[in-house]
A = this chain, B = another copy of it.
C-alpha cells in the first residue's frame, strides 16, 4: 500500500548558510527523501518559501503522513497553516516531527506546552548514543540495541512535554546529558512521532539508521484505517429510553 508522504522543511538554513548547503545540497528534505527511497512511499516536498507556505490545501488533504522540520523561522509560519495542519492531524493524518521542530508552533500546539529543553552549543557536535528502550516497538524494527551519531547537537532533559504515550528511544550524550529522543503521542485520531537527532550543520540526515527510524516512524503514524467517522464539533445523541421511574 502506497503511503503519501509530504516532507515539509522550513528551508532557510539551506539558503543562508554555506556550510549547510555543502552538507545538504538538495536541502534537508531532499536528503530525507533520498534516504526514504522505497516503493511504499510516494514522496512530495514543500518549503516555507514555496507558494502557500509549501502546504496548499490540495497537498495537505492528499497527505497520509507529514514530516515537519523547522528551526529559525517558526514564527513566520502563519497561524492559519498551523490551524489547518492541526485539524488534519486530529482527523487522522500521521505526523513526524523532527529535531528543532520541537519548538515549532505546530508541535507546541499539539502538546499544549512550550516544549522547552536543555541545549548546549558545541560547534563540532557531541557524540550521541540512541538507545532502543522498547525493542519490540515497530519504530525500532531492524535497529541494533543502540546506534551512535558521531556529531550531534545536544538536546537534554528536562524536556517540557506531556507524558508521551510511549518512549521508544533514550539518548545519551558524551557531555553528560540524557534525552527522551523518540516519543509517540496520539492527538484526536492522529498519531505523532517525535525524533530528536537531526541538526542542520551535521550530516545526520545522510545516516542510514536515521533513515530507517524515519521510515519506521512513517509506517507507524500512518493510520491502518480511516473510515470517515470524524467527530463533528458536537455530536447529538438520542437517549435509548426514558429515565427509570
Contacts and interface: CB of A to CB of B under 8 A. Distances in A.
A243 B174 contact: yes
A189 B233 contact: no
Given A162-B187, A235-B119, A176 B240 contact: yes
A189 B133 CA distance: 11
Contacts of A177: 131, 172, 237
Contacts of A51: none
What copy number does this chain have within its complex?
A: 4
Contacts of A116: 231-235
Interface in A114-135: 114, 116-122, 126-127, 129, 131-135
Interface residues of A, number: 75
A90 interface: yes
B111 A141 contact: no
Of A111, A122, A237, A238, the most chain B CB neighbours within 10 A belong to: A237
A237 B133 contact: no
Given A136-B92, A166-B163, A120 B239 contact: yes
Q: Which 9 A-B residue pairs are closest in the complex by CB-CB distance?
A: A175-B239, A136-B189, A241-B244, A176-B240, A110-B112, A118-B235, A133-B157, A120-B237, A170-B178
Given A120-B238, A132-B157, A176-B240, 14 more contacts: A116-B234, A116-B235, A119-B235, A131-B177, A132-B158, A135-B158, A136-B226, A138-B225, A141-B224, A142-B227, A163-B165, A172-B176, A173-B239, A175-B237
